[in-house]
Amino acid sequence: MMSNRRNALGRGLSAILRNPNTDITNNKDEESKLVGTINEISLDEIQVNPFQPRVKFDEDKIYELSQSIKELGIIQPITVRKLGYNRYQLISGERRFKASKTLNLRTIPAYIRIANDEQMLEMALVENIQRENLNPIEIAISFQRLIQECSLTQEECGNKLGKQRSTITNFLRLLKLPLEIQGGLKRQKISVGHARALINIKDTTKQLNIYNDIIENGFSVREVEQLVKDFAERDYNSTVRKKQDKNTETLLFSHQKMLFDLSKSLDKRVQLTKNKKGNGKIIIPFSNDEELTAIFNKINT
């Protein structure tokens, strides 16, 4: 029996679910006859899934689900694995499990399976990635865990999840971003497109400066890609002001772009402020007379 189970490892979720050797109903032990069927199980006998890739659940949606369960009952059973006598562990359906607990239900319908830790992780990941609205960082962490904890290559991970290797690679690259930017991606302050553009910048300070400007000025993905291209070899200083004057107007991207081009041409950080009436000033710093002369020469060229 154990050798057959080992052979099932790494073959993908569908192979596991279709393989009768992974269903404990084939075991002659009387206690195992429940497994492979749908049964009412006490909520107190179920442990949450330690392999659950989702780390945060929307409490409002849990409440909405609980009200639906109260009205209609649980339409789709949860899936658990049997750990021992009257002991089970969630494979999928944690939202239904949590919602049922808020209603103080005693039991919940569950489909009982047998699975080892690798299969548990794979099942949990597939369940969440394909059926839940994970944020991009949660998806990336899920891919990373599957690769590291199940000793898979990116290509093998993609095969198991029905995704291209490039998709796996692109999500994993998001984890190289500073935690502040990852947090912004989780909270939808920026899109995956913005994040992928920022990945191409090696300097963390520059990444954060552009990230702050994306949020402040609402730059599009294309605009950020252009910024990354223009400032690939140069420092980028954020234009975000900590205490913005109520009469100061946020610069349009077209003005920002002209400012960036001028800064690049003069090799100086040029500052521009403009109020809502259209008045403003351009500040070009210099350290000595030679630099000042060089600036005039470049402007007059």
CB 78 within 8 A of CB 109: yes
Amino acid (1-letter code) at residue 127: E
Rounded Cα–Cα distance for residues 40 and 67 (Å): 20
Q: H/E element holding 113?
A: strand 107-113
- Active-site residue flag, 122: no
CB 46 within 8 A of CB 97: yes
Tokens of 10: 């790494």
Catalytic residue among 45, 94, 132, 233: 94
Helix (H), strand (E), coil (C) string for 232-277: CCCCCCCCCCCCCCCCECCCCHHHHHHHHHHHHHHCCCCEEEEECC
Q: What sign does the dihedral 253-257-258-263 (CA atoms) show? A: positive
DSSP labels, 180-204:
HHHHHHHTTSS-HHHHHHHHT---H
Which of the residues are catalytic? 94
